[in-house]
Amino acid sequence: MTTVRTPAGWPVTEEEARAVQDTLRERVVLDEPGPPPGTGRVTGVDVAYDDERDVVAAAAVVLDAATLDVVAESTAVGRISFPYVPGLLAFRELPTVLAALEALPCEPGLVVCDGYGLAHPRRFGLAGHLGVLTGLPTIGVAKNPFTFTYDEPAAPRGSTSPLLSGPEEVGRALRTRDGVKPVFVSVGHRVSLDNACAHTLALTPAYRLPETTRRADALCRRALREAAPALTRE
């Protein structure tokens, strides 16, 4: 487990964070298809918080994209690096997520975030931010549609409908289980929306949420339980 310090020069105000978003958003790449689903490696990242103790834990879990077997995993813990501000959650999560990715013993391949990419009020959620900083292909697969609208997809698995901000499609509602509430897929960096949805279906053979998310969620929660008491004593 890696212990993370907040990087020097990390934004401390909303104005500073939004300025960083504005600068980095221009570097998002939207015209690459991304790796083919079911090939290479795919990595899930997720975070868990203990706000009372001011601690955040991140996990990165690498899966073989064909078999969904775990190839490698890592965790990182640290102090929460930014206050809770809707639309700026990446600034609370990125230092530990980046540290967890850097601690992996292998290349992560496609990275799947439990959150948003373009489906973000400023079109730059965690998946976009992480992709730009690392250069890795990234997508966001969220549990809810945030502030956007959509029509219910048809009931069968694989059905989709546009996730809309006015007339703009910022992602898709994707049915990963027959008749079960959809997930909300958006592009982060260097992946097309069609391919992002195909990857999500490949990662959901048995459950609503991708295996990447399920396994990273369990790992970061365990890391938080183990690390919070020690960090509290510092």
Give the residue numbers of the binding site for Mg(2+): 46, 114
* SS3 (DSSP) at 59: strand
* Rounded Cα gap, residues 155 and 175, in angstroms: 7
The DSSP call for residue 151 is P
Residue count of the chain, please give it: 234
Q: What are phi and psi of 167, to 5 degrees?
A: -85, -5
Torsion angle defined by CA atoms of residues 44, 158, 122 and 214, in that order, rounded to the nearest 10 degrees: -20
Q: Which residue positions form the known binding site?
A: 46, 114
The DSSP call for residue 234 is -
Q: List all residues 6 or more positions away from 106 whose beta carbon is below 8 Å from its beta carbon.
A: 41, 62, 71, 72
Q: What angle do CA 108, 50, 92 make, to 5 degrees?
A: 55
Instruction: State the sign of the Cα–Cα–Cα–Cα dihedral 156, 137, 60, 233.
Output: negative
Q: List all residues 6 or more positions away from 100 whose beta carbon is below 8 Å from its beta carbon.
A: 2, 45, 58, 59, 60, 74, 75, 76
CB atoms near residue 149 (< 10 Å): 12
